[in-house]
């Protein structure tokens, strides 16, 4: 069945079975490979994207259930025009292998949207679903705090 | 016929030159420059196998795989330090598999003796033997070898390219080379004229790069400082490309289900799967099946729906049976006693301490499951794979599809973690075989997480028995026996088809090679003959032995009534100064007193591995709602710190990897298959469970040490020792969640 999706501001008509998870629509059909597959079970957060600004695990949302505009890491910012949070990630040199980082950044950006002055406890609660096997957590925490600061200064 | 000849010659080289009679003709072969695999195109110049200058800038070949450790950044910094290229002008590429990029350290490990005892002579000997790797086209990333390998090599590459560019400029503008200098990707003439390197592409093509001396450390601009990583923007914007991100026209998506009993397939029924949405082909892989579909998820669904009957495992079918086999081998004949100081069989008076330890099977669980992309066109194969062994991957893929190695192109992409797992080539070969079954169709293959855990090459379970004697509050005897299947033997058999002779030092590393002076000190290795597929798991033998030996040292310290940190210091001081210094460093950093308030526990641990001594202190707290880890102090000595931020990051990363395993990592078997299948039953540290870190890097070590692995081994005993301090309970078995109420 064909379904119309709004992704990063562009319209995509997708012809795949209803039950294909959004993750695999993005990666294999639309060609947005910045969103990663880590577990397919909602247990790692590598596939995190936004639907209408809310962070969701795209491996757990079927095509037919997508209810709003999808934003992926590619829609957040680009190498020459990074979002504030991406710039904070670069400044803190967060990534190691980098494979979890799209999901980390998407999750953190939704956190800051909802809780601009995130405390350590807020960060723990919001980010604990995002696994990083390389162990970049200390720098993720620092980058989130720094991004929060920069966003508040901008406002 | 040609193939057989090649193999025969190669075998000959290994047999006669490399290992036995190096003098025959090996030295010439070793010292001859390997051919440059780079072919300069129109408007490009390649100065050596590592430097390519185009109209757009300087590309450095950094031929070690980026698995997150930052290797490509520091390799680039090494070359750039001499080449005087501006940091932002550099592009890095892993490059093709090639002899020129051989690993010059790996084979040096074959020289016996603990690394901390290396003298200049011994070190030189290791380097000479390491160079034999060139004859074997041995290209690989692992064993924490990259910086040892390229510390001088990459700087020479940069220096000689710089001089070649100066010669080119001198010809071009008619100024004496001696009067030219270089800065920010340009040659500077005495009158201040700036000649950018990119304008010298034509002129430099005919220049032979000269040999030059390296600059003094005191002049370094890039090395020793935290450089912005070359992969950071890509990894923060979703644009870094992994093997699973390759996009080609008409591409299809595949997955595999390989034998979880690791012994092949009896039969399969794909009738249902064949008719499922999007399925294009179901391929018999011999020891499993592959599904090709229009979408990866559809392929995974169909693969699950194939009804497969697996042949039973050849190893004991469950965890208990495997454990019994390991314990039984403790009673067999020792394979090694590479540490045998004094005489442990003499009667030594004192307090006797005995303990038995057991650590479980572990999986790597890289964040990116195994993936590869391949395209087969009949007479050529192109593979994109995040891999730690490009030459071996090339040869294995060629052999699998019946092509010559020269017909195979390997693109080594970034890796979503490796930790030793991606030194294997099983996944690359699978993608190649699927592509061969679907000629002219690009295939992107991804494993499910379940496949990734079940079909890993595991860190083996290890059992140990230790006996020690304390006399006048000092350790006068340690007699340790370490048993388990051999990673080295099983992986050598799989990869080279034979088991290397001699004692298996990897099996006892982290215990037998520790810088402790104990008058009677013996470590014996016992090998268990079971064929569970094993692989190199971050820090390899030391990942088990670090926990075992250091926990025993802690037990001895308590039996001696001595502060455990002081106890280790006393053992190390006379044996190896840099090791003693890192122990002193964590004492100072953590303000160690040996006493902790109620509800707080602290443990110290030390392991010397991969040339680097590392001491750690861990603090735990009983929150009333479970125990959490508060803080970890790390001191390490790598001799020379080439990039302090990257090295600190590696130290922290290694500890998090080790603590994840120590707390909750355990692979179990039933019916010959691994029982765990995803992060919900094989998890790791997360944001809310990770401690705070403080890292100090010392530079007293005589030789360069590794960075990627050495912090992992001491992390496990440091936690166990802290939990003992907190609770009075000594855990002699991992994971610790079995003994303690840890917050997960
Ligand atoms: S892939 Fe979706 S949570 Fe892991
Ligand atoms: S950076 Fe490698 S998994 Fe997070």
Q: Are residues A12 and A67 in the same domain?
A: yes
Average pLDDT over residues B30-58: 84
Q: Are A96 and A134 in contact (CB under 8 A)?
A: yes
Counting ligand 1 atoms within 8 A of each CB, the residue from A21, A42, A102, A106 with the most, and so the one to mutate, is A42
Please report the pLDDT score of residue B111 as a whole number. 82
Distance CA A73, CA B453 (A): 27
Lowest model confidence (mean pLDDT) among B148-162, B264-278, B310-324, B516-530: B148-162
Residue B414 is nearest to which of A27, A98, A130, comparing CB atoms? A98
User: What's the CATH number where A19 sits?
Assistant: 3.10.20.30
Q: Are residues B695 and B647 in the same domain?
A: yes
Q: Are residues A92 and A69 in the same domain?
A: no
B742: phi then psi, degrees, rounded to nearest 5: -90, 145
pLDDT band for position B310 (cuts 50, 70, 90): very high
**Higher pLDDT among residues B28 and B70, named by residue:** B70
Q: Are residues B291 and B416 in the same domain?
A: yes
Distance CA A93, CA A138 (A): 11
Q: Are residues B394 and B527 in the same domain?
A: no
Q: Which atom of ligand 2 is nearest to the CA of A133?
A: 3
Domain boundary among A49, A76, A103: A76
Both structure tokens of B185 = 């990707």
Q: Are residues A89 and A106 in the same domain?
A: yes
Q: Are residues B259 and B389 in the same domain?
A: yes
Q: Does any domain span residue B268?
A: yes
Mean pLDDT of chain A, nearest integer: 97
Residues of A in contact with B295 (CB under 8 A): 16, 20, 24, 28-29
User: What's the CATH number where A140 sits?
Assistant: 1.10.150.120
Q: What does the DSSP 8-state code read for residue B595? A: -
Average pLDDT over residues A120-143: 98
> Model confidence over A65-102: pLDDT tens digits?
999 999 999 999 999 999 999 999 999 999 999 999 99
Q: Are residues B545 and B657 in the same domain?
A: yes
Please report the pLDDT score of residue B7 as a whole number. 28
Q: How many CA atoms lie within 13 A of B163 on its CB side?
A: 15
Q: Are residues A88 and A58 in the same domain?
A: no
- Distances B48 to A112, B39, B160, B269, B426 between C-alpha atoms, Å: 48, 10, 9, 54, 32
Domain boundary among A41, A58, A76: A76
Q: Name every residue whose Cβ is closer than 8 Å to that of residue A38 and which is 6 or more positions away in sequence.
A: A44, A45, A46, A47, A99, A100, A103, A131, B367, B368, B369, B449, B679
User: What's the CATH number where B306 sits?
Assistant: 3.30.365.10
Distance CA B730, CA B314 (A): 35
Q: Are residues B558 and B598 in the same domain?
A: yes
Using the beta-carbon criterion (under 8 Å), do B297 and A23 form an inter-chain contact? yes
Domain boundary among B412, B427, B454: B454
Which range of residues forms the domain containing residue B25?
Answer: 6-102+137-223
Q: Are residues A60 and A93 in the same domain?
A: no
Residues of B in contact with A80 (CB under 8 A): none
Please report the pLDDT score of residue B42 as a whole number. 83
Distance CA A44, CA A98 (A): 14
Q: Are residues A63 and A91 in the same domain?
A: no
Distance CA B542, CA B548 (A): 9
Q: Does any domain span residue B731?
A: yes
Distance CA B466, CA B521 (A): 11
Which range of residues forms the domain containing residue A122?
Answer: 84-154
Number of domains observed in the structure of chain B? 3
Lowest model confidence (mean pLDDT) among A2-6, B425-429, B499-503, B599-603: B499-503
Please report the pLDDT score of residue B31 as a whole number. 63
Q: Which residues line ligand 2 (CB under 6 A)?
A: A 95-101, 132-134, 136; B 68, 367, 417
Alpha-carbon torsion B90, B50, B96, B147, what sign? negative
Q: Which atom of ligand 1 is nearest to the CA of A45?
A: 3
Counting ligand 1 atoms within 8 A of each CB, the residue from A21, A45, A73 with the most, and so the one to mutate, is A45
Number of domains observed in the structure of chain A? 2
Nearest to B321 by CA among B510, B528, B596, B97: B528
Residue B234 is nearest to which of A40, A79, A137, comparing CB atoms? A79
Please report the pLDDT score of residue B132 as a whole number. 80
Share of chain B above pLDDT 70, in %: 96
Q: Are residues B493 and B584 in the same domain?
A: yes
Q: Are residues A67 and A90 in the same domain?
A: no
Q: Are B475 and B556 in contact (CB under 8 A)?
A: yes
Average pLDDT over residues A22-33: 98
Q: Are residues B202 and B341 in the same domain?
A: no
Q: Are residues B88 and B181 in the same domain?
A: yes
Q: Does any domain span residue B508?
A: yes
Distance CA A90, CA A107 (A): 16
pLDDT band for position B134 (cuts 50, 70, 90): confident
pLDDT band for position B126 (cuts 50, 70, 90): confident
Average pLDDT over residues B246-268: 98
Q: Are residues A93 and A67 in the same domain?
A: no
Q: Are residues A55 and A96 in the same domain?
A: no
- Whether residue B10 is predicted with pLDDT greater than 90 in this model: the reply is no
Please report the pLDDT score of residue A155 as a whole number. 67
Q: Are residues B426 and B521 in the same domain?
A: no
Using the beta-carbon criterion (under 8 Å), do B237 and A21 form an inter-chain contact? no
Size (chain B), residues: 744
Domain boundary among A55, A76, A97: A76
Please report the pLDDT score of residue B125 as a whole number. 84
Please report the pLDDT score of residue B30 as a whole number. 57
Q: Are residues A93 and A148 in the same domain?
A: yes
Q: Are residues B390 and B343 in the same domain?
A: no
**Nearest listed ligand to the Cα of residue B414:** 2
Q: Are residues B81 and B58 in the same domain?
A: yes
Residues of B in contact with A73 (CB under 8 A): 237-238
């Amino acid at each position: 069945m064909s379904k119309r999706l709004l992704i990063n501001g562009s319209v995509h008509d997708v012809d795949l079975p209803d039950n294909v998870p959004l993750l695999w629509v993005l990666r294999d059909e639309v060609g947005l490979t910045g969103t990663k597959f880590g577990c397919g079970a909602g247990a790692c957060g590598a596939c995190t994207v936004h639907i209408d600004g809310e962070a969701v695990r795209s491996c757990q949302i079927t095509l037919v259930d997508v209810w709003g505009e999808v934003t992926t890491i590619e829609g957040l910012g680009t190498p020459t025009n990074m979002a504030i949070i991406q710039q904070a990630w670069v400044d803190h040199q967060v990534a190691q292998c980098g494979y979890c980082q799209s999901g980390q950044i998407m999750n953190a950006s939704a956190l800051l949207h909802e809780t601009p002055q995130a405390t350590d406890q807020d960060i723990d609660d919001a980010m604990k679903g995002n696994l990083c096997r390389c162990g970049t957590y200390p720098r993720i925490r620092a980058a989130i705090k720094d991004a929060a600061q920069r966003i508040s200064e901008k406002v | 016929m040609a193939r057989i000849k090649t193999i025969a010659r190669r075998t000959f080289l290994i047999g006669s030159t490399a290992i036995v009679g190096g003098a025959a003709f090996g030295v010439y072969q070793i010292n001859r420059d390997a051919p440059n695999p780079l072919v300069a195109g129109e408007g490009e110049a390649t100065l050596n196998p590592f430097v390519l200058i185009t109209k757009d800038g300087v590309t450095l070949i950094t031929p070690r795989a980026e698995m997150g450790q930052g290797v490509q950044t520091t390799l680039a910094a090494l070359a750039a330090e001499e080449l005087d290229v501006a940091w932002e002008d550099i592009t890095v590429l892993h490059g093709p598999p090639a002899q020129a990029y051989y690993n010059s350290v790996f084979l040096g490990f074959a020289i016996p003796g603990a690394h901390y005892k290396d003298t200049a002579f011994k070190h030189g000997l290791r380097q000479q033997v390491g160079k034999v790797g060139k004859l074997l086209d041995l290209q690989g990333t692992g064993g924490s070898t990259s910086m040892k390998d390229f510390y001088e090599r990459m700087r020479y590459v940069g220096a000689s390219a710089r001089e070649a560019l100066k010669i080119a400029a001198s010809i071009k503008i008619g100024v004496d080379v001696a009067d030219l200098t270089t800065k920010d990707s340009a040659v500077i003439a005495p009158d201040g004229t700036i000649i950018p390197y990119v304008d010298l592409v034509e002129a430099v093509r005919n220049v032979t790069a000269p040999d030059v001396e390296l600059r003094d450390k005191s002049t370094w601009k890039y090395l020793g400082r935290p450089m912005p990583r070359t992969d950071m923007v890509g990894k923060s914007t979703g644009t870094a490309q992994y093997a699973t991100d390759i996009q080609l026209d008409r591409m299809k998506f595949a997955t595999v289900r390989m034998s979880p009993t690791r012994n092949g397939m009896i039969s399969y029924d794909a009738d249902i799967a064949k008719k499922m949405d999007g399925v294009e082909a179901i391929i018999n892989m011999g020891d499993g099946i592959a599904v090709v579909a229009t979408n990866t998820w559809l392929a995974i669904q169909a693969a699950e729906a194939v009804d497969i009957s697996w042949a039973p495992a050849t190893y004991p079918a469950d965890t208990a049976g495997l454990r019994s086999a390991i314990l039984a081998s403790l009673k067999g004949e020792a394979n090694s006693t590479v540490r045998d100081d004094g005489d442990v069989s003499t009667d030594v008076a004192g307090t006797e301490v005995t303990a038995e330890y057991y650590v479980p099977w572990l999986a790597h669980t890289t964040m990116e499951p195994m993936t590869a992309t391949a395209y087969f066109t009949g007479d050529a194969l192109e593979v994109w794979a995040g891999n730690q062994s490009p030459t071996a991957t090339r040869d294995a893929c060629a052999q699998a599809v019946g092509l010559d190695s020269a017909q195979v192109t390997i693109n080594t992409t970034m890796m979503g973690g490796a930790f030793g797992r991606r030194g294997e080539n099983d996944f690359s070969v699978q993608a190649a075989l699927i592509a061969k079954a679907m000629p002219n169709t690009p295939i992107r293959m991804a494993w499910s997480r379940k496949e990734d855990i079940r079909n890993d090459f595991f860190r083996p379970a290890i059992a140990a028995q230790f006996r020690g004697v304390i006399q006048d509050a000092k350790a006068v005897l340690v007699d340790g026996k370490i048993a388990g299947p051999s990673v080295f033997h099983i992986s050598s058999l799989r990869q080279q088809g034979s088991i290397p002779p001699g004692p298996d030092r990897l099996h006892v590393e982290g215990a037998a090679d520790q810088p402790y002076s104990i008058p009677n000190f013996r470590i014996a290795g016992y090998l268990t003959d079971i064929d569970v597929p094993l692989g190199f798991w971050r820090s390899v033998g030391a990942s088990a032995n670090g926990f075992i030996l250091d926990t025993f040292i802690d037990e001895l310290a308590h039996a001696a009534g001595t502060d455990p940190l002081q106890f280790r210091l006393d053992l190390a001081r006379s044996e190896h100064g840099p090791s003693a210094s890192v122990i002193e460093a964590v004492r100072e950093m953590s303000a160690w007193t040996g006493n902790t308030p109620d509800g707080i526990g602290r443990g110290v641990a030390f392991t010397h591995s991969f040339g680097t001594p590392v001491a750690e202190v861990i603090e735990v707290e009983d929150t009333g709602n479970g125990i959490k880890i508060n803080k970890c102090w790390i001191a390490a000595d790598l001799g020379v710190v080439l990039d302090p931020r990257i090295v600190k990051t590696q130290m922290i990363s290694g500890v998090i990897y080790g603590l994840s395993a120590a707390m909750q990592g355990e692979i179990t078997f039933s019916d010959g298959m691994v029982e765990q299948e995803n992060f919900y039953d094989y998890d790791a540290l997360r944001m809310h469970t990770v401690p705070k870190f403080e890292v100090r890097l010392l530079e007293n070590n005589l030789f360069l040490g590794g960075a990627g692995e050495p912090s992992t081994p001491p992390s496990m005993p440091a936690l166990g020792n802290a939990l003992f301090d907190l609770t009075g309970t000594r855990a002699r078995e991992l994971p610790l969640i079995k003994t303690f109420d840890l917050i997960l």
